[in-house]
């Protein structure tokens, strides 16, 4: 018989080891579909690793893939720390991208030193506004933010499609539903020649650092942690719970909005309705793998980006569908959630015949 | 109360035997080599402070936990003691062990009858009201003196009636051993007496009864034998007749005790006034509440749990808004104030549920010590936390109040209830507030920690603060209060001098008989 006993304390080693184990477990489980596809498992993994880390180009691809994931991961991590369940990263990303294109594709012309901050600001603001609505619905009417943020994703993506088929459609776009390209002055510079990795990565890394400082070292961060860990006690202690939720919602939405800016102004150069292959949702996985720590988000985003980039590369080489990446990402989320059980509980095997010894073999 | 039963326990039949029970949780040992024998027809009190391991021991008995070492044996069908399968409540039930938990395990939307027969019949039985079951249960009620309206939904029964349903549930399953965890915690004094009379009757019919308690008075009046647990070990097991209050208290704590004393003091001007305040709805509402708290007095509020105390505390804490009436703090209208406004106005609040409202368990001791003042210039500069000042405050408070922890960075959740309460007391009382609201401040605390709470409330009174003490413990109220008011179904009686009242009067008022008591 298996018995679960709650742990008194959780060691730091366990806390960091468990997400790593979860990620490895997800990768290992991917062997099953690879085998089912009839491909050599070991070679597939080697190709994946090579595709993600094997060359300067591969690393550049990895970093450019990680850039939006860091930002959406931070958006989820920050909100989740306050127990505000922002599932709307995808919609906020598109809102940010839309705002960036609206400002940066010719509506205003100014030198890059003005345009780039302006575009970033517009995207952040748009993302923040997208999150403000569910936050106010939650605080005023008690509407569950899981539902409202999730459903708003579809609203935003459909709105973007409408704009791209109508008012914002590029007249020079050969009939494709895409926006006019970003002006050169509004484009985020590439970090290396002929590589796709762009200045959005710097923005993402700075955002991670700032989010870490916010949570660990400021009064606002203190209040976010208190509200997230025990809302009743926080309210009793006079912490402004409503204001904290609104603040977190704005920060969270802004971060996801920035991810959208990076994609249009740093990578694609124009907006399409398939700008994001689910970065908003993958950000949730990133945040969970990171244990909701902003600095951990960077590491987790690199892992998830590596899975995506590596699977693309492997897929081209041996013809296993790159949906494998989605499978690994989804499995790693499940693995993290399951591993929560191991963090909170000690598992013991207890049989009727060995009850006397069962207590001793696991120790303290 | 009837006389202790004739015949010494060892001449009577042992029905249950716990031998060498040891249970560890991580580094903590909850029970260490505990032996306990239970005889048919006796009432044993299991006495101990909070955290002494009483509930753990009973949970092992009932199969909720598995002991690391030791064995539970129960009398089998042929009269021999046989080992009880560990870790199986099902086996415990079948062996005739009935447990009445502190928090009842009743389905509120079912009737008393349905609750009692629930689980005793096949899943696909056609109906829940067979006549034979009903007759058997009615006979049981007659024999035991436990009466309850079987057809009422449990949600409409009083707490005392719900407890009777729980006991009937155990008896209906032919319990031979009845375990009650802190059975009087939710009862009025009169209800408690009734309960113990019933238990005596059940014991006389051959049942073995164990009740867990930390109240010396009821242990002395209701049990045949007392087993005292201290820090997981059984330190005494002796006939109640050979015990007195002082002896039991010392066995329980491990050293001799001094009583906290209340010096006479003339009350001063009114600090906090409630004028016709209404709030909430349903069972937890308060209606037309008026009181005036003066400087230098402790105003006790007595009442059975669930009569509006919680709403009253939330109201004064700034967590709930009054729908009508006014709240005045030192003459200022704070009716619309939130928690922050109440703190700023000089009102200290000690919450009833310290784990839920008192501390953020996942945050450190230091963070919990400063959480109410985190925005003050003392602990932050331009929105950045001043870790030096926070750590210094933690060191000071930990030293001054003997908070047992591994320093300010220790996670609060892992502290004992008494130490958590010390954090709350340090946070709320060190700033010398004018008014103190203490809701059930010693609930669940051991004697030592309770003494500390009382000492600090008396110290606040001595320096001229007004203290409201909400408590269900009459001993505590009479020991500390200058005046006592009683809350019943959301109505508060006018406060009367504690010297004019006695326990019986207050007990009647708690049961809603204010006129008869007056």
Count of positions (residues) in chain A: 364
Q: What CA–CA distances, in Å, run from B176 to A177, A288, B38, B94, B173?
A: 79, 51, 11, 10, 9
A318 located within any domain? no
Hunting for tokens 């990565």 — which residue is that? A201
Lowest mean pLDDT among A4-18, A147-161, A328-342, B398-412: A4-18
Q: Do A225 and B363 touch (CB under 8 A)?
A: yes
Q: Which residues of A touch B349 (CB under 8 A)?
A: 236
Count of positions (residues) in chain B: 518
Lowest mean pLDDT among A152-156, A203-207, A210-214, B29-33: B29-33
Q: Is the pLDDT of residue B2 over 60?
A: no
* pLDDT value of residue B126: 60
* Short-list B239, B227, B224, CA closest to B2: B224
A positions 234-253 inside 8 Å of B (CB): 234-240
Q: Do A233 and B414 touch (CB under 8 A)?
A: no
Q: Is the CB of residue B336 less than 8 Å away from at least one CB of chain A?
A: no
Residue partners of A70: CB distance under 8 A and separation at least 6: A201, A204, A205, A207, A208, A286, A297, A298, A301
What is the rounded average pLDDT for all residues in chain A? 89
Nearest by CB to residue A222, choosing from B356, B357, B367, is B367
Q: Do A237 and B339 touch (CB under 8 A)?
A: yes
Give the separation between CA A209 and CA A207, rounded to whole angstroms: 5
Which class for B376: exposed (0-12), middle (13-18), buried (19 or more C-beta within 10 A)? Answer: exposed
Overall fold of domain B12-96+177-191+207-256: Rossmann fold (3.40.50)
Q: Provide the pairing of β-strand B177-181 with B97-100.
A: parallel
Give the separation between CA B130 and CA B118, rounded to whole angstroms: 12
Indicate the pLDDT class of residue B327, thresholds 50, 70 and 90.
very high
Instruction: Mark A282-316 as b/e (b = at least 16 C-beta within 10 Å).
Output: bbbbbbbbbbbbbebbbbbbbbbbbbbbbbbbbbe
Q: How many domains does chain A have?
A: 1
Q: Provide the pairing of β-strand B332-333 with B347-350.
A: unpaired
Q: Do A229 and B362 touch (CB under 8 A)?
A: yes
Which of the residues A3, A233, A348, A354 would you substitute to probe the B interface, choosing the one with the greatest number of B C-beta atoms within 10 Å?
A: A233
Q: Do B372 and A360 touch (CB under 8 A)?
A: no
Q: Do A230 and B26 touch (CB under 8 A)?
A: no
Give the separation between CA A305 and CA A65, rounded to whole angstroms: 5
B133 vs A242 pLDDT, higher one: A242
A270 located within any domain? yes
Give the separation between CA B193 and CA B199, rounded to whole angstroms: 10
Q: Is the pLDDT of residue B115 over 90?
A: no
A27 located within any domain? no
Share of chain A above pLDDT 90, in %: 62
Strand partners, A88: none
Strand partners, A4: A347
Cα-only R_g, chain B:
25
The pair of three-digit structure tokens given for residue B366, joined into one six-digit string: 């230091």
List % helix, strand, coil for chain B (3-state, nearest 5).
35, 25, 40
Q: Is the CB of residue A225 less than 8 Å away from at least one CB of chain B?
A: yes
Cα-only R_g, chain A:
22
Q: What is the pLDDT of residues A249-261, one digit of tens each?
A: 999 999 999 999 9
Residue pair B325/B274 in contact by the 8 Å Cβ criterion? yes
**Average of pLDDT values for B346-370?**
93
Give the separation between CA A117 and CA A97, rounded to whole angstroms: 14
* Short-list A65, A107, A106, A73, CA closest to A92: A73
Backbone angles phi, psi at B237, to 5 degrees: -150, 100
Residue partners of B359: CB distance under 8 A and separation at least 6: A230, A233, B368, B412, B413, B420, B423, B424
Q: Do A218 and B371 touch (CB under 8 A)?
A: no
Nearest by CB to residue A226, choosing from B28, B86, B371, is B371
Helix (H, G, I), strand (E, B) or coil at A10: coil
Nearest by CB to residue A229, choosing from B24, B349, B360, is B360
Q: Is the CB of residue B362 less than 8 Å away from at least one CB of chain A?
A: yes
A137 located within any domain? yes
**Average of pLDDT values for B139-158?**
84
A320 located within any domain? no
Q: Is the pTM of this model over 0.80?
A: no
Q: Is the pLDDT of residue B1 over 50?
A: no
Hunting for tokens 């400021």 — which residue is that? A218
* pLDDT value of residue B3: 44
ipTM rounded to 2 decimals: 0.86
Q: What is the pLDDT of residues A122-138, one digit of tens each?
A: 999 999 999 999 999 99
Which of the residues B66, B360, B376, B387 would you substitute to probe the A interface, choosing the one with the greatest number of A C-beta atoms within 10 Å?
A: B360
Give the separation between CA B420 and CA A298, rounded to whole angstroms: 36
Hunting for tokens 């016709």 — which residue is that? B276
Residue partners of B234: CB distance under 8 A and separation at least 6: B34, B35, B36, B227, B228
Q: Do A239 and B319 touch (CB under 8 A)?
A: no
Q: Is the CB of residue A14 less than 8 Å away from at least one CB of chain B?
A: no
Q: Is the pLDDT of residue A277 over 80?
A: yes
- CA torsion sign for B445, B449, B454, B456 is negative
* Short-list B467, B410, B411, B412, CA closest to B441: B467
Q: C-alpha angle A294/A298/A304, rounded to 5°?
A: 125
Instruction: Write the DSSP string, B56-86.
Output: HHHHHHTTSS--SEEEEEEE-TTS-EEEPPT
A191 located within any domain? yes
Q: Is the CB of residue A364 less than 8 Å away from at least one CB of chain B?
A: yes
**Which of A250-254, B44-48, B127-131, B405-409 tops mean pLDDT?**
A250-254
Q: Do B414 and A219 touch (CB under 8 A)?
A: no
* Short-list B198, B196, B137, CA closest to B168: B137
Q: Is the CB of residue A3 less than 8 Å away from at least one CB of chain B?
A: yes
Q: Is the pLDDT of residue B259 over 70?
A: no
**Which of A156-160, B69-73, B111-115 tops mean pLDDT?**
A156-160
Least Cα separation, residue A359 to chain B (angstroms):
5
* pLDDT value of residue B516: 58
B108 vs A188 pLDDT, higher one: A188
For residue A6, the chain B residue with the least C-alpha distance is: B25
Residue pair B244/B221 in contact by the 8 Å Cβ criterion? no
Q: Is the pLDDT of residue A357 over 60?
A: no
Hunting for tokens 């703090």 — which residue is that? B329
The pair of three-digit structure tokens given for residue A130, joined into one six-digit string: 């997208």
A243 located within any domain? yes
Q: Is the CB of residue A215 less than 8 Å away from at least one CB of chain B?
A: no
Q: Which residues of A touch B67 (CB under 8 A)?
A: 359
Residue pair B148/B168 in contact by the 8 Å Cβ criterion? yes
Residue A134 DSSP class? H
* Side-chain-side CA neighbours of residue B173 (13 Å): 26
Least Cα separation, residue B342 to chain A (angstroms):
9
Give the separation between CA A7 and CA A10, rounded to whole angstroms: 7
For residue A133, the enclosing domain spans 66-292
Give the separation between CA B169 and CA B178, rounded to whole angstroms: 11
Q: Is the pLDDT of residue B181 over 90?
A: no
Give the separation between CA A245 and CA B7, rounded to whole angstroms: 67
Nearest by CB to residue A236, choosing from B68, B357, B375, is B357
Nearest by CB to residue A234, choosing from B25, B87, B360, is B360
What is the rounded average pLDDT for all residues in chain B? 86
Share of chain B above pLDDT 70, in %: 93
A264 located within any domain? yes
Q: Where are the domains of chain B?
A: 12-96+177-191+207-256, 104-175, 270-346+433-517
Angle subtended by helix axes A323-344 and A12-29, to nearest 10: 150
Q: What CA–CA distances, in Å, run from B327 to B301, B321, B333?
A: 17, 10, 6
| Cβ neighbours of B438 (radius 10 Å) | 30
Residue B509 DSSP class? H
Q: Which residues of B touch A220 (CB under 8 A)?
A: 383
Give the separation between CA B378 and CA B394, rounded to whole angstroms: 13
Hunting for tokens 């106010």 — which residue is that? A136
Give the separation between CA A205 and CA A201, rounded to whole angstroms: 6
Q: Which residues of A touch B319 (CB under 8 A)?
A: 235-236
* Short-list B79, B104, B48, CA closest to B176: B79
Q: Domain spanning B270-346+433-517: which CATH class is it, in words?
A: alpha beta
* pLDDT value of residue B406: 84
Q: Is the pLDDT of residue A8 over 90?
A: no
Least Cα separation, residue A349 to chain B (angstroms):
12
Give the separation between CA B224 and CA B516, rounded to whole angstroms: 34
């Amino acid at each position: 018989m298996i018995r679960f006993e709650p742990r008194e304390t959780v060691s730091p080693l366990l806390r960091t080891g468990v997400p790593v184990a979860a990620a490895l477990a997800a990768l290992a489980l991917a062997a099953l579909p690879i085998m089912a596809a009839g491909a050599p498992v070991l070679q597939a993994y080697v190709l994946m690793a090579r595709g993600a880390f094997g060359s300067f180009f591969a690393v550049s691809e990895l970093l450019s893939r990680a850039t939006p994931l860091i930002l959406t991961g931070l958006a989820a991590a920050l909100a989740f720390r306050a127990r505000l369940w922002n599932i709307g990263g995808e919609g906020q990303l598109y809102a940010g991208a839309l705002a960036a294109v609206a400002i940066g594709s010719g509506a205003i012309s100014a030198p890059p030193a003005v345009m780039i901050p302006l575009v970033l600001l517009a995207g952040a603001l748009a993302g923040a506004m997208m999150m403000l609505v569910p936050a106010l619905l939650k605080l005023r009417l008690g509407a569950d933010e899981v539902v409202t943020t999730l459903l708003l994703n579809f609203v935003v993506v459909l709105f973007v499609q409408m704009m791209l088929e109508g008012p914002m459609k590029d007249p020079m776009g050969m009939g494709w539903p895409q926006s006019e390209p970003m002006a050169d002055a509004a484009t985020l510079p590439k970090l290396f020649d002929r590589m796709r990795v762009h200045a959005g990565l710097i923005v993402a890394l700075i955002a991670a650092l700032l989010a870490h400082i916010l949570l660990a070292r400021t009064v606002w961060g203190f209040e976010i942690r208190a509200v997230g860990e025990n809302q009743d006690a926080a309210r009793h202690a006079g912490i402004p719970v409503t204001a904290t939720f609104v603040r977190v919602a704005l920060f969270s939405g802004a971060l996801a909005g920035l991810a959208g800016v990076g994609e249009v102004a740093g990578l694609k150069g124009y907006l399409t309705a398939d700008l994001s292959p689910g970065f908003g949702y993958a950000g949730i996985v990133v945040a969970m793998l990171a244990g909701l720590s902003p600095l951990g988000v960077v590491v987790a985003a690199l892992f998830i980006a590596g899975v995506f980039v590596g699977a693309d590369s492997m897929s081209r080489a041996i013809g296993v569908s790159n949906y494998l990446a989605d499978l690994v990402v989804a499995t790693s989320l499940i693995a993290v959630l399951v591993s929560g059980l191991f963090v909170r509980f000690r598992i013991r095997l207890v049989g009727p015949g060995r009850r006397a010894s069962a207590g001793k073999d696991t120790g303290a | 109360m009837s006389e202790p039963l004739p015949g010494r326990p060892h001449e009577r039949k042992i029905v249950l035997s716990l031998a060498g029970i040891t249970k560890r949780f991580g580094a903590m040992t909850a029970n260490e080599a505990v032996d306990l024998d239970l005889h048919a027809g006796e009432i044993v009190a299991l006495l101990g402070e909070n955290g002494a391991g009483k509930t753990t021991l009973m949970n092992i008995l009932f199969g909720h936990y598995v002991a690391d070492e030791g064995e539970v044996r129960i009398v089998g069908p042929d009269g021999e003691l046989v080992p009880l399968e560990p870790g199986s409540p099902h086996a415990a039930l079948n062996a005739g062990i009935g447990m009445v938990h502190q928090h009842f395990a009743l389905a509120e939307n079912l009737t008393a009858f349905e609750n009692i027969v629930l689980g005793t019949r096949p899943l696909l039985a056609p109906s829940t009201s067979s006549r034979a079951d009903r007759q058997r249960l009615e006979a049981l009620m007659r024999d035991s003196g436990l009466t309850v309206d079987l057809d009422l939904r449990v949600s409409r029964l009083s707490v005392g009636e719900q407890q009777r349903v729980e006991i009937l549930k155990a008896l209906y399953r032919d319990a031979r051993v009845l375990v009650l965890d802190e059975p009087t915690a939710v009862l009025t004094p009169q209800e408690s007496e009734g309960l113990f009379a019933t238990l005596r009757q059940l014991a006389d019919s051959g049942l073995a009864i164990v009740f867990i308690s930390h109240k010396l008075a009821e242990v002395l009046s209701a049990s045949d034998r007392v087993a005292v647990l201290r820090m997981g070990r059984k330190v005494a097991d002796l006939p109640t007749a050979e015990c007195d209050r002082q002896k039991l208290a010392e066995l329980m704590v491990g050293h001799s005790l001094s009583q906290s004393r209340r010096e006479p003091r003339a009350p001063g001007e009114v600090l906090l006034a409630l004028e016709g305040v209404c709030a909430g709805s349903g069972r937890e509402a308060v209606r037309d509440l008026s009181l005036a708290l003066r400087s230098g007095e402790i105003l006790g509020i007595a009442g059975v749990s669930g009569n509006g105390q919680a709403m009253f505390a939330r109201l004064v804490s700034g967590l709930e808004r009054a729908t009508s009436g006014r709240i005045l703090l030192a003459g200022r209208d704070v009716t619309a104030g939130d928690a922050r406004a109440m703190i700023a106005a000089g009102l200290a609040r000690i919450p009833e549920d310290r784990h839920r409202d008192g501390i953020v368990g996942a945050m450190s001791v230091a963070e919990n010590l400063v959480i109410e003042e985190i925005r003050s210039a003392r602990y932050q500069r331009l929105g950045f936390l001043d870790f030096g000042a926070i750590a210094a405050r933690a060191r000071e408070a930990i030293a001054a109040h003997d908070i047992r922890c591994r320093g300010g960075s220790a996670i609060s959740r892992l502290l004992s209830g008494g130490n958590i309460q010390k954090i709350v007391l340090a946070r709320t009382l060190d700033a010398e507030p004018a008014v103190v609201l203490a809701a059930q401040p010693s609930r669940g605390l051991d004697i030592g920690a309770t003494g500390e709470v009382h000492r600090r409330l008396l110290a606040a009174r001595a320096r001229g603060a007004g203290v409201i003490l909400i408590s269900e413990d009459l001993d505590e109220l009479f020991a500390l209060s200058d005046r006592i008011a009683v809350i019943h179904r959301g109505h508060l009686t006018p406060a009367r001098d504690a010297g004019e009242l006695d326990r019986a009067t207050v007990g009647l008022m708690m049961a809603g008989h204010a006129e008869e008591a007056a």
